[in-house]
């Protein structure tokens, strides 16, 4: 038996990660059982259960960020009492904006080091969901960093199937950005889709819903509610996908996806369907870097950030300039770049979809190797 620490509390993408990981275990390691525990809670009361298992698996999500071991996977207090291997399964790096400077200079909190040491040493593979994460871990002396991809971009029912580009566009799925800073751009993308496909039915899907609760702040909820109202005025239906994987399972009903949510992008690609991702941070950038050219950046480094990086006298000086003057700005070319990408993909017979699926398929042997190599 394995214990899976999963982050499925509200964000639909987290539910998809857990769902996809369990399907991979069921299909490719059928002789091994598993039990889920919530990744955001301490494990103190479950130590006997954990130590009776073969491994404790940190299952997906952007865990490689500040707060690992305390705020994210809060197991540091019990680390010495966890006697089974701790395994990184498709974890990713998160930073904002997630440019090359962030990748080069990112450092974990000192308190995270004992957990990082366990991930380095407990198992021969530390699974990464993208190549930016792989590069980060290699810089931080992980000799076992292993590019497996995210569990969510694999759907065993679709393995070996050809690409499934839309023959005609009747239904479009859009996922808006989560952070309020992307509100204007999100609305511009909605207008672009309505302009390009005026007769198509559209759904605007909110992976964290649009209401305030313990997991969603007032500014984020207000931002989502405003986008919902605007989308409905443009003729889009609004779906609350939060709290379950079931809404995302319905994504197979759509012809293609455009939007900011990384796991909507992965869901469509797992179905061999067309998807265009707009990256809003290091997670999105990492997804595009790993899967290919089906997407655009929603931001660009600011002039101050470029200057600081180019002429830095020290890392601290550059970081201070970026913090005071801003490290990014919204890219005014994003919507036009997206327009060109969409039109080109349809006109040229979906070459980027084919290249992207080839890239995903190339990672599968590593994921399979990791699954079959887990402690028995």
Q: Is the pLDDT of residue 226 over 60?
A: yes
Q: How confident is the model at residue 284 (pLDDT cuts 50, 70, 90)?
A: very high
Same domain, 214 and 115: no
User: Two tokens at 68?
Assistant: 């690992």
* 328-330 and 299-301 strand pairing: antiparallel
Same domain, 320 and 216: yes
Same domain, 305 and 331: yes
Confidence (pLDDT) at 323 = 74
Same domain, 203 and 282: yes
In this prediction, residues 365-373 reach a mean pLDDT of 95
Of residues 361 and 101, more confidence is placed in 361
21 close to 151: Cβ distance less than 8 angstroms: yes
Q: Is the pLDDT of residue 301 over 90?
A: no
N-term to C-term CA, the chain:
8
Q: How confident is the model at residue 288 (pLDDT cuts 50, 70, 90)?
A: very high
Burial zone of 215 (CB within 10 Å; 0-12 exposed, 13-18 middle, 19+ buried): middle
Same domain, 327 and 179: yes
By percentage, how much of the chain surpasses pLDDT 70? Answer: 97
In this prediction, residues 70-86 reach a mean pLDDT of 97
Confidence (pLDDT) at 148 = 97
Confidence (pLDDT) at 320 = 73
Q: How confident is the model at residue 60 (pLDDT cuts 50, 70, 90)?
A: confident
Q: How confident is the model at residue 311 (pLDDT cuts 50, 70, 90)?
A: low
Same domain, 70 and 210: no
CA 311 to CA 291: how far, in whole Å? 32
Same domain, 252 and 340: yes
Confidence (pLDDT) at 312 = 58
Same domain, 263 and 214: yes
- 83-95: per-residue pLDDT in tens? 999 999 999 999 8
Q: How confident is the model at residue 315 (pLDDT cuts 50, 70, 90)?
A: confident
Confidence (pLDDT) at 193 = 98
**DSSP state, residue 207:** T
Confidence (pLDDT) at 325 = 67
Which residue from 244, 136, 223 is spatially nearest to 178, judged by alpha carbons? Answer: 223
Same domain, 66 and 163: no
Instruction: Determine the angle formed by the axes of helices 334-347 and 183-196, rounding to 10 degrees.
Output: 30
- The CA-CA-CA angle for residues 14, 20, 22, to 5°, reads 105
In this prediction, residues 16-26 reach a mean pLDDT of 95
- 333-359: per-residue pLDDT in tens? 999 999 999 999 999 999 999 999 999
User: Two tokens at 374?
Assistant: 């887990």
User: Two tokens at 130?
Assistant: 């993208």
CA 238 to CA 336: how far, in whole Å? 25
Same domain, 215 and 142: no
Same domain, 133 and 186: no
Residues spanned by the domain of 166: 157-360
In this prediction, residues 22-38 reach a mean pLDDT of 90
CA 83 to CA 129: how far, in whole Å? 26
Beta partners for residue 295, in sequence order:
277
CA 64 to CA 182: how far, in whole Å? 23
Confidence (pLDDT) at 153 = 96
CATH of residue 30:
3.40.50
* Region of 55 on the Ramachandran plot (φ > 0 left; ψ -120 to 50 alpha; else beta): beta
Q: Is the pLDDT of residue 164 over 60?
A: yes
Q: Is the pLDDT of residue 329 over 90?
A: no
Q: What domain count does the chain have?
A: 2
CA 74 to CA 95: how far, in whole Å? 19
CA 219 to chain centre: 22
Q: Is the pLDDT of residue 82 over 70?
A: yes
CA 169 to CA 294: how far, in whole Å? 17
Q: Is the pLDDT of residue 308 over 90?
A: no
261 close to 269: Cβ distance less than 8 angstroms: no
Residues 6 or more apart whose CB falls under 8 angstroms from that of 123 comprise: 55, 85, 86, 87, 144, 374, 375
* 2-6 and 34-38 strand pairing: parallel
Same domain, 286 and 213: yes
CA 205 to CA 251: how far, in whole Å? 10
145-147: strand order across its sheet: 34-38, 2-6, 55-64, 86-93, 126-128, 145-147
Beta partners for residue 258, in sequence order:
174, 276
In this prediction, residues 116-139 reach a mean pLDDT of 96
- 4-13: per-residue pLDDT in tens? 999 999 999 9
HEC string for 239-306: EECCCCCHHHHHHHHCCEEEECCHHHHHHHHHCCCEEEEEECCHHHHHHHHHHCCCEEECEEECHHHH
């Amino acid at each position: 038996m394995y214990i899976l620490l999963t982050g499925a509390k509200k964000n639909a993408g987290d539910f998809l990660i857990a769902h996809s990981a369990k399907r991979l275990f069921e299909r490719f390691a059928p002789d091994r059982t598993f039990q889920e525990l919530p990744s955001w809670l301490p494990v103190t009361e479950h130590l006997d259960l954990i130590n009776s298992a073969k491994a404790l698996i940190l299952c997906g999500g952007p865990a490689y960020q500040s707060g690992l071991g305390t705020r994210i996977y809060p197991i540091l207090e019990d680390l010495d009492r966890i006697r089974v291997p701790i395994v990184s399964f498709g974890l990713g790096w998160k930073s904002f904006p997630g440019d090359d400077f962030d990748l080069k200079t990112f450092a974990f909190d000192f308190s995270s080091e004992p957990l990082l040491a366990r991930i380095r040493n407990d198992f021969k593979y530390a699974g990464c969901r993208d190549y930016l994460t792989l590069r980060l871990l290699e810089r931080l002396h992980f000799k076992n960093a292993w590019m497996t991809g995210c569990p969510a971009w694999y759907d065993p029912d679709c393995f070996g199937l050809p690409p499934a580009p839309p023959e005609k566009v009747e239904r479009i799925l859009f996922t808006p950005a989560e952070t309020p800073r992307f509100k204007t751009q999100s609305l511009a993308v909605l207008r672009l889709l309505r302009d390009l496909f005026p007769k198509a039915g559209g759904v605007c899907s909110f992976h964290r819903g649009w209401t305030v609760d313990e997991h969603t702040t007032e500014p984020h909820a207000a931002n989502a509610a405003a986008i919902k109202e605007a989308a409905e005025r443009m003729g889009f239906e609004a779906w609350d996908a939060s709290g379950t994987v079931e809404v995302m399972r319905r994504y197979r009903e759509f012809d293609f996806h455009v939007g900011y949510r990384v796991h909507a992008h992965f869901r469509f690609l797992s179905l061999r369907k067309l998807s265009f991702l707009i990256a809003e941070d290091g997670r999105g950038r990492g997804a595009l870097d790993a899967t290919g050219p089906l997407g655009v950046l929603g931001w660009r480094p600011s002039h101050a950030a470029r200057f600081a990086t180019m002429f830095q006298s020290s890392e601290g000086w550059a970081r201070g300039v970026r913090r005071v003057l801003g490290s990014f700005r919204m890219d005014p070319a994003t919507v036009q770049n997206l327009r060109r990408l969409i039109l080109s993909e349809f006109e040229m017979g979906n070459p980027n979809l084919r290249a992207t699926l080839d890239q995903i398929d190339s990672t599968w042997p590593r994921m399979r190797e990791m699954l079959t190599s887990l402690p028995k």
